Amino acid sequence: MIDNTQSFRFFNRGPSPAVRLVFFAALSLLLLFIDARYRYLESTRSALSVLISPVQRLAAWPGALWQHAGDFFITQSRQRSLIKENDDLQRQHQGDAAQLLQLQSMQLENRQLRNLVALPIRSEFTTQLAEIVYAERDVFRRRVLVNKGADTRVLIGQVVMDDTGIVGQITRVYPWLSEVTLITEKDHAVPVQVLRNGLRTIVFGAGDTSQLSLRYMPVNADIQNDDILATSGIDGIYPPGIPVARVIKIERDAAYPFARVTCLPIAGVDKHRHLLILSDLPKPPERPVEKSTATDIDKRAKTRRKN
């Protein structure tokens, strides 16, 4: 039988814990002093760091993995939030852009209406405001429909203008609408006068909203680029003094008796929605009819016999 007391004493031989503590503390201080003083343990520390580095990385791997997982979910959440915010901003930008375009259109329309209201109109005729509701789909017909008709006493032949010049003429009247033929309609004629020198002529539409022409203009006629053409008022339809076109190109060729003059309409014939219809225009006196006398009849009879 083994004595437990003797076995216990056998394994507890050696220095006491207090002595061990003092020994290892003194040894640690000595090593610290030697390392700080003479740096003998640099190579030992480097070797130990190489050996311990895999253990350190392995120990830090769970924490790093947890951190990466958290960053991944946080990044995904932020990305979804940013995508949603970007979509919301895109929709808001599109809505703001549409509202801005609408506001700009309303500002232009308001400016044009103000110009129409402030337009100095001669007292011998009145005006009424009209709005374009339809445009002719045929590209070869320069006509529009306005929201004024027989119910507002619109008549065929009345002049239509905007805040800058002549736009056209009423050519057909319906109960609640009227058809306006633009001055750019092909072969539509407007008697005009050059403001610079008073030269009278006729401007014709060319079928293009951006072009008018002067026909049968002599090569030596006194007309220049940038000359302003205004209504002459001698036809009894268009009132005098309203701008119609501006000369932009003159082609003279001695081989032809007439010059080719191209003009640009001053009015916005294809730009604005609101127009003015001029009414109660003063009618010129009727042209006198020549009465054939007996002498004239005899002369004509003799001429015919000779022929």
**Both tokens of residue 100?**
């801005």
Q: How far apart are CA 213 and CA 291, in angstroms?
A: 37
- Asked if residue 47 belongs to a domain, the reply is no
- Dihedral (Cα; 41, 42, 46, 51), 10-degree rounding: 0
Tell the residue number behind the tokens 């001053």, with chain if given: 266
pLDDT the model gives residue 247: 94
State the sign of the Cα–Cα–Cα–Cα dihedral 144, 146, 151, 154.
negative
Specify the higher pLDDT residue, 8 or 252: 252
Mean pLDDT within 175-188: 90
- Asked if residue 266 belongs to a domain, the reply is yes
pLDDT the model gives residue 202: 92
CATH number of the domain bearing residue 244: 2.40.10.340
Whole-model pTM? 0.57
- Asked if residue 151 belongs to a domain, the reply is yes
pLDDT in tens, 221-251: 889 999 999 998 887 788 888 889 999 999 9
Q: How far apart are CA 163 and CA 242, in angstroms?
A: 10
Mean pLDDT within 186-196: 90
- Per the CB < 8 A criterion, the answer to whether 188 and 204 are in contact is yes
Mean pLDDT within 146-151: 91
DSSP H or E run through 141: none
Highest mean pLDDT among 83-97, 135-149, 165-179, 290-304: 165-179
> Is the model's pLDDT at 40 over the cut of 80?
no
Domain of 260 in residue numbering reads as 126-279
- Asked if residue 99 belongs to a domain, the reply is no
- Asked if residue 150 belongs to a domain, the reply is yes
Domain count along the chain: 1
pLDDT the model gives residue 234: 83
If one counts every other C-beta atom within 10 angstroms of the C-beta of residue 166, the result is 28
pLDDT in tens, 60-114: 788 778 888 777 778 877 888 888 888 888 777 777 776 666 666 666 666 666 6
- Asked if residue 265 belongs to a domain, the reply is yes
Tell the residue number behind the tokens 């002549």, with chain if given: 166
> Is the model's pLDDT at 299 over the cut of 60?
yes
- Per the CB < 8 A criterion, the answer to whether 165 and 276 are in contact is no
255 band by pLDDT with thresholds 50, 70 and 90: confident
Specify the higher pLDDT residue, 7 or 252: 252
Listed residue (227, 122, 116) closest to 167, CA to CA: 116
- Asked if residue 87 belongs to a domain, the reply is no
- Asked if residue 2 belongs to a domain, the reply is no
User: Hey, what amino acid is at 226?
Assistant: D
pLDDT the model gives residue 69: 78
